[in-house]
Chain A
Amino acid sequence: MKARLLFAVLAVALALSLSACGSKEQAEEKPAAPAVASAPVDPATAGTITGTVKLDGPAPKAQRIRMDAEPTCAKTHTTPVMTEDYVVGDKGGLGNVVVYVKDGLGNRTFDTPKEPVVLDQNGCIYVPHVIAVQVNQPVEIINSDPTTHNVHPVPTNNKEWNKSQPPKAENIVESFAREEIAIPVKCNVHPWMKSYIAVLKHPYFKVTGKDGAFEIKNLPPGDYTLVAWHGVLGTSAEQKVTIGPKESKAIEFTFKP
């Protein structure tokens, strides 16, 4: 009996994962798996939220990072290395912001993506500065530097860990079990290194680029609350959006520096 239930759950999970990462056509060909926790997203009715995040005003000047303590890293940079707290585009778009659905998905559960999100340590800088993953989604951490780093996430709600990663060492693959926006990541050897990992229970999030643009796709029709989070400026005001079937809506977040 138990085994059969387990099998059913596995089957659903497999189906969901295929639908989430597969193309529309593929998903359409597959018959809907029986609902267990909640109904899967019907791609036929799913909508999209797009928009941009803007910085209202001039960004504080970036600080120069001095890497004198680690000449091997300093050598890899030809231009001065600046802090990445404010990445602002031409039209005032703000990068490194996590835009995500805060509310509106109810009890719906989602598959955990198997493919890892990569966090590289390159020239003693975390690349990218901000990443977002789903709960339990693997984060693959690479050391591209000829020096030893330690990777030290400092979470509030997750389990803390701190691992050393010598040059050419195997990639560290870890995951986070609980939603947390966002976990700061430090390298204690190189105190200037800093990065954030946002962990979410669902796939409806986006980290903005320099243009501040985002697109959140495949949302089932419903009422949603969205927020944006920035490493220095914190969490924005909430925005309520109602999505009808196949609807696409645009919103805008504005941060004041």
Chain B
Amino acid sequence: MPEIQNDDPIVAKSYSGPLLIASLLLVLSLFWALWQEFVGLRPWRGYQREFASVYSKFLGKELTKQKAAADAIMSSAEYQKLAKAAKDAADAAAPQVKKIDEETAYVNRRIAALSPTFITARGEVTALIYQVEIAGSESSKKSRQADVDKAKKGPFNVELPTAEGKTEKKSFNYDELIAEFDSLKNHKAELTLKRADVRKAADEAAKAQAAYIQEKLDGLSVEQVQSLQTAVRQMSVALRQINVDKAGLVDRCQSCHVGMDPKLVPPTLQLTKASLGLEKSKDAPFTSHPQPELLKLHDPEKFGCSPCHGGNGRATNSVVKGHGRHEFWLWPLYYKENTEAGCQTCHAADMFTYHAPVLNKGRELFRQKGCIGCHRYEGFDNEGEQLLSARQKVRQLEQQKKDAELEIPRLNKAGDQAPDNKAAQDYYAKADNLRVETSVMDAQIEQLMVRARSLLREEKKVGPSLKETRMKLRKEWIYYWLENTHTFRPDTKMPQFRFKPREPRAISAFIWQMAVPGPALPKQAPGNSAKGKELFESRGCLACHSIGEGNKKMGGTFAANLSRVGEKVNYDYLVRWIMNPRQRTRPYDPIARKDLGPEDYKQYGKDFVFDLDHSRSPDGKHELQVQQQTVMPNLRLTIAEARDIASYLAAQKHADAVYQPAEFMDDPKLVEQGRALVKNYGCAGCHEIATLEEEGRIGTELTTEGSKPIERLDFSLLTEHAKRGVLPDGKPNVRDGEKNAEWYDHKGFFERKLTNTAIFDQGRVVTQLKMPQPNVTPEDVTALTTFLLGSVDPQVPKDYLYKPADQRRDIQEGWWLVTKYNCMGCHQIAVGQPSDLQGLPIYQGENKFKLPPPLLSEGARVDPNWLARFLENPAMSKTDVNRNGVRNYLAVRMPTFSFSDGEIRKIVKFFQAIASQAQPYLPPRLEPLTPQERTMARDLFTHPAAPCLKCHATGQPAHDANASAPNFLLAPERLQPAWTARWLTDPSRISPGTAMPSGLFKQEGGRWVFSGPLPPSLQGYSKDHADLLVRYMFQITPEEQRMLLGRTPAGGKSGAK
């Protein structure tokens, strides 16, 4: 027996233990890998299985419900009646149908018997004819033709079934055979038509029966639910993805969000957590899209999910990765409150995006709060940038013209010296063409100059001009305001600056001393404050301004709250401002860069007169800024009215307000220091300030701020806080119910910064942030954050971006203006959008008839050329201006906005576009009235049952005192006939709640007939009555109206007839 060595490793040490462990580990890791492969890395499998189970349950319930509903409908008397009618009709048709069916069967049998012989014969003859066609010689053609003739002779013997069920033997030649076959086919076709004819009533009754269920049954039909159940049963657990090659898009979101699949969940079926019985689950991504109408506009097969929602569409191994909510994914899924940020990706050029109220609010705030004063944003500085580009284009064209003018003599000379006449003519023609082109350039240049002039008028500032300070304000108030902005006026749009000590002194001194010194304002007599209050509340001031503090506040939010205006303002100035807010004390000369005074005009022997009609510089060389850059319009008040309102406003003050004297404001030593500070804080972004008119913006451009790399957003000392999900104050950050949620992302940055603009200076020795604190609510912060999150460098293909070139562009351009001038303060413009005035207590109940008109169908209602004239001069008169041009009976006044030509064009096109009107408008030709028709129309017009002139104004003061609708004399040039006809027949459909009554006409035999008792002259009139009135209205004259007024009981005179 060999000796066993003690140190033999095999014997001495057993490795079985470690080996066992290792192999166990190996097996375990194999299982782990397998588990990961099939479960861990594929969480969507679990979701899909869970979805199938909960959705099946849901469909089961749905089926029961729909079945019950369908049964209930079917047991209703009405359904039974329909069912009986269907059955009766079917029964009535049955004998005939049976006969037809029998005959058809007989014809079919005969065709079947004939077919084999027919097909063989036709094949044979066709083959022989082909032989004739390809035969080489005449003789062979002839012999082949003989074959054809022989074959055609037949005879073809066929056994055909007879109607009695026997068979008959028949013999045909070829032509007879064909004829027999064709006649059978024709007979069959006839029978088919006849059958449909006989069944018609029965089929229609059956259709009505089915339609009844469909109409009454809310939701899916039983069959539909059943087919969905089948679909869910057959659903395989697999990766679901949308793949759009050209967009480089692979979105696998539906792998977990299975409910988004329209094949599984049709849009009519809304899946919510509640309906699935998963209210308590935090992890049930099965709901269907909450806004199916958005999916109709944005087909998911084209747009996918992630371009709108953010997230990493490719990632499928975990929720966090799929949603892209980690530091390394630039496009995280938007949180619910910011979802609309996704719209901005493609809709960045929009001013107003349908279905995106939060985003719209964000954009709106960005403009209204004056963010654009410091931060450039592509498309948000329309006027200024357009002005620059217009001026640049003019320079380019002038250069081109100069070049052309040098080229023309060269061409003419070449023509003079050309070797032959043809060449000479060509040269002369070229020279002529070039000359014509220069004239086209002249036209372009001229248009651009007009545009530039318009733009000078369109350029507005967010804040008031500080050049007027000395004329307008109480001196000490300025200093107070700078430090106590939000205390003095809690809802002001001016942000609160964080000044260092003594900075406000220098700033207020600078502003005070730079303001224009005069000419002095005329002294105004005091007005009647009580009358002023009434005017303030009724003329429409409250559409933009609010008044009252705390819960007594009422009015719009577009412009300042005037509660304490009496503490700051100079009465004489206020009167001038109310009379015409655009009135400047001195015009600004953008070339000389100074405000011109009487002395500058005197130099050229001119009076100190400047307004929109006198806007050239005194040397006549260029355009001046002759208006204050405010959007506040001229309400065309009388001087007495302006004094009354000013007196009322001047009394709006805190009785106990005390202002410390501020003599330092006259200290010339502070001016330079103040100027530097004003520049530093960017005040000129929102205010017109002498010597700083051409200052640029001081803030970061924000056009693509949402896609700025996160490292470039300076979280400063709060970076760690943000990553740990702790707020600056030490409290946990909560998002979507998650505590301590990380906020080291764009959303976190924007929200923190907007809530407290100094936040990222926290803890720093040297503070450097100068962004002032905007006056925003938490909702405002969410809206602005949404807007900024969506402000990205888009990753989608260019043609995904919404940049329509058709009427939809007119709509966007129009929205810019409609919001710029706050048209919605007074008017309802979009369906479902109330005006600010509508909410005021003074317009409730029957007083709603005192509201300005809704403009929902304005583009279809009025002739666009008239609208343009009206917008330019809403008084519709050059002399009689203290009134409304159309609705003189309304106390609220359509103001004069002094729109530029460009703005008028855009507003008119906007209204045309939202009403889908063709451009340019061509008035339709109306059929002239016959004398009889004229008589009828007059009778109808003054009929006691159609008291048109009772409400519609006529221009006679006694009558118009009670008028509540426009004068008919305006109709021909103002209205569109088609709209007028729609309005006459059903006004409440166009404008719910209108004072114009509905039901004046009723439908009868496809035309509108007056519903009251017919005047004798109209008896037997076979045409449309509404159309008759429209045609009459469109040719009405003052004489005609006066004559009518004499006839109508409402005319105030005794009936002349």
Q: Hey, which bits of chain A sit against chain B, CB under 8 A?
A: 156-160, 177-178
Contact = CB atoms under 8 A, between A and B. Distances in A.
B417 interface: yes
B425 A177 contact: no
Contacts of A157: 421, 424-425
A158 B418 CA distance: 11
B761 interface: no
B431 interface: yes
B432 to A, nearest CB: 8
Given A159-B412, A159-B415, A159-B416, A178 B431 contact: no
Contacts of A156: 421, 425
A157 B431 CA distance: 14
Given A159-B415, A177-B417, A178-B424, 8 more contacts: A156-B421, A156-B425, A157-B424, A157-B425, A159-B412, A178-B416, A178-B418, A178-B421
A139 to B, nearest CB: 15
B286 to A, nearest CB: 81
A177 B416 contact: yes
12 contacts: A156-B421, A157-B421, A157-B425, A158-B424, A158-B428, A159-B412, A159-B416, A160-B432, A177-B415, A178-B415, A178-B418, A178-B424
Interface in B741-788: none
A160 to B, nearest CB: 7
Interface in B115-168: none
A160 B415 CA distance: 12
Given A177-B415, A177-B416, A178-B416, A159 B421 contact: no
Nearest to A176: B416
A166 B415 CA distance: 30
* Most chain A C-beta atoms within 10 Å of own C-beta, residue among B415, B416, B417, B418: B416
Contacts of B415: 159, 177-178
Interface size class, chain B: 10 to 19
A159 B415 CA distance: 8
Contacts of A160: 428, 432
A157 B428 CA distance: 9
Interface in B419-462: 421, 424-425, 428, 431-432
Q: Closest 3 A-B residue pairs measured CB to CB?
A: A177-B416, A157-B421, A159-B428
A237 B834 CA distance: 90
Nearest to B427: A159
Contacts of B431: 159
A157 B417 CA distance: 12
A160 B412 CA distance: 10
Nearest to B415: A159
A67 B996 CA distance: 67
A214 B432 CA distance: 39
A156 B415 CA distance: 12
A156 B416 CA distance: 13
A224 B432 CA distance: 38
Nearest to B418: A178
* Most chain A C-beta atoms within 10 Å of own C-beta, residue among B418, B421, B431: B421
Nearest to A136: B416
Interface in B384-416: 412, 415-416
A156 B431 CA distance: 15
B405 to A, nearest CB: 16
Nearest to A157: B421
Contacts of A178: 415-416, 418, 421, 424
A27 B424 CA distance: 36
Contacts of B432: 160
A102 to B, nearest CB: 15
Contacts of B418: 178
B214 to A, nearest CB: 77
A5 to B, nearest CB: 18
A159 to B, nearest CB: 5
A8 B523 CA distance: 86
Nearest to B428: A159
B431 to A, nearest CB: 7
A178 B431 CA distance: 16
A25 to B, nearest CB: 36
Nearest to A177: B416
B423 to A, nearest CB: 10
B417 to A, nearest CB: 7
B776 to A, nearest CB: 68
B433 to A, nearest CB: 13
A8 to B, nearest CB: 20
Contacts of A159: 412, 415-416, 428, 431
Nearest to A179: B421
* Most chain A C-beta atoms within 10 Å of own C-beta, residue among B428, B431, B432: B428
A160 B424 CA distance: 12
A217 B1008 CA distance: 95
* Most chain B C-beta atoms within 10 Å of own C-beta, residue among A156, A157, A160: A157
Nearest to A178: B424
A177 B431 CA distance: 15
Contacts of B421: 156-157, 178
* Most chain B C-beta atoms within 10 Å of own C-beta, residue among A157, A158, A159, A177: A159
A157 B425 CA distance: 6
A156 B421 CA distance: 9
A177 B417 CA distance: 8
B188 to A, nearest CB: 77
Contacts of B412: 159
B415 to A, nearest CB: 6
Contacts of A177: 415-417
A109 B918 CA distance: 66
Contacts of A158: 424, 428
A176 to B, nearest CB: 9
A245 B432 CA distance: 48
A159 B428 CA distance: 6
A45 B992 CA distance: 107
Contacts of B424: 157-158, 178
A159 B424 CA distance: 9
A145 to B, nearest CB: 29
B623 to A, nearest CB: 33
B736 to A, nearest CB: 79
A222 B415 CA distance: 31
A78 B425 CA distance: 44
